[in-house]
Amino acid sequence: MFNPETLETSEFYNHRFKNFATHLLVPAAIALVAALLFLIFAQREITITSTGELTPLQAPVSVQATAANRIITNHLKEGKFVRQGEPLVTYHDVANPEQAKVYQAQVQQYQDQLTALNQYKKGLTANQDVFTQDDAFGYRQALQDYLSQRQIYVLDAQQVSGTQATANDKTVKVNQMLQQSIQTINRNIAAYQKLLTAVQNKSGYPDDQPFSYLYQSFVAESTGLDGSDLAKLKTTYTGQISEKLDAEQQQLDSFKLQQANNANSDVSHVQLETDQQKMAALQAEQLKSVTGQITQTNQSLTELKAKLTTLQDQATDSTLKAPTTGVLHLDDSLRGKKYLPSGTTLAEIYPVLQHQKKVALTLMVIPNDITSIKKSQNVRLKIARHVPVPLVLNGKVTQIDSGPTVTKDTNVFKVTAQVNLTPKQARTLRYGLAGEVSIITGKKTYWNFLKDQLLNKS
């Protein structure tokens, strides 16, 4: 039979244990336990946020004006891709081609003079005439004068061991050679005096006269000079000519003295030694003189070549070429200008971003946060503006400035990171794009985070 008490007991159980309160309590308890477990074990990132922008890994290469001349062709365009060596700017060439020709002629003259001097030195060393023909500088004549003087000493030495007849014959020959040398020196003195007058008055000097190369050199160097510069140049050349005159006069006096003493030449053994010493001294003196002339001519040639190179470089600088391969970024303040000072930065060449697998990220951090930042920490850049689709780039900190950068409002530290790029991202991005940067300095559990927030801890 049915027992009504049983039904009453079931209703009481359902009413007591299967009501709304019991259905809500169990899920709430489970959710609370799960939340506590999440707070205790789950971790959140500790980040420092700032604003950063994309920059090249390597500093852009500056393109600077190489001349202050007028620009006649300008190939500079914003965003243009250029290759190394490609012409960018062409200047008006104002170098003087006539001056270059003058310098080239003088260089050739100095080179010819060096060749003749080296032949002269070779002849002095060998004690013989090594020239095949007369030179324009008179060095063959100088060598012959030296050989004549040396021959005098040779003959003088031969006289000592010869007979009286031989000695008498030698005396005649010596007198003839001395007279010939005296005549040659007299001609040289007369030529130098005319040359000195020509330089002082700038009155001209025939090319077929001895030592005409000095006057030609003076005329070449005096081109374009006046006033004190011309007077200074005249003083230099007249001084050189006067020195040569003095040397010739001394040589003339020496020859005349030898001519006077020739009749009473000492034929003793002492005289033989003296003649040998004279020949050695004469050779040493001439070699010293020609070596000094070679040194001076080489110095003059070097200086003249430097002037010629400078003039040629000015012509070369008329075309400014790209120093490296990349993309141009121009200075808008210079747009349209035809004249710019030498050294002015016209543009910068950036690496082609589409070819890069990494790019630099530059951001500024306030002093309070800089102590938490270390190299190799992860960096996240979010770019949402100026791109078709928001991008997130990841990288690592590579450099932290040791000193602050002073700004108008406060001091900040520059932090540099490297972020990786996919080929698609590289095609989308541009240098200078900015976004929100998060530097991940560490992790902590949500429980510790909430505790620090409640206790007002950083």
Domain layout of the chain by residue ranges: 4-41, 47-58+353-454, 61-91+318-347, 97-316
Contact 87, 75 (CB under 8 A): yes
SS3 30: helix
**pLDDT one-digit tens code per residue, 208-237:** 777 778 778 877 787 777 778 777 877 887
Tell me the C-alpha distance between 274 and 160, whole Å.
Answer: 11
The tokens describing 426, both together, are: 């590289």
Contact 92, 70 (CB under 8 A): yes
pLDDT confidence of residue 118: 92
Strand order from edge to edge, sheet including 319-321: 71-74, 87-91, 319-321
pLDDT confidence of residue 12: 55
SS3 368: helix
Cβ atoms < 10 Å from Cβ of 274: 16
pLDDT confidence of residue 292: 92
Tell me the C-alpha distance between 266 and 268, whole Å.
Answer: 6
SS3 231: helix
What does the DSSP 8-state code read for residue 163?
-
Equal CATH topology for 47-58+353-454 and 61-91+318-347: no
CATH of 61-91+318-347, one of 2.60.120.590, 2.40.50.100, 3.40.47.10, 3.40.30.10: 2.40.50.100
Phi and psi at 277, nearest 5°, equal: -65, -40
- pLDDT, tens digit only, all 458 positions of the chain: 445 554 455 555 555 555 555 566 667 777 777 766 655 655 566 777 888 888 888 888 888 877 667 777 777 888 888 888 888 787 766 556 667 778 888 888 889 889 999 998 999 899 898 998 988 888 889 888 888 888 888 887 777 666 555 666 667 777 778 788 888 888 888 877 887 787 777 777 787 777 778 778 877 787 777 778 777 877 887 788 788 888 888 887 887 888 777 765 545 566 777 878 888 888 899 899 899 999 999 998 898 888 878 776 666 557 778 888 888 888 777 777 767 777 788 888 888 888 888 888 888 888 888 888 888 888 888 887 777 778 888 888 888 888 888 888 788 889 999 898 888 888 888 888 888 888 887 666 655 666 666 766 55
pLDDT confidence of residue 299: 92
Contact 194, 205 (CB under 8 A): yes
CATH of 47-58+353-454, one of 2.130.10.10, 1.10.3720.10, 2.70.98.10, 2.40.30.170: 2.40.30.170
**pLDDT one-digit tens code per residue, 310-352:** 776 666 557 778 888 888 888 777 777 767 777 788 888 888 8
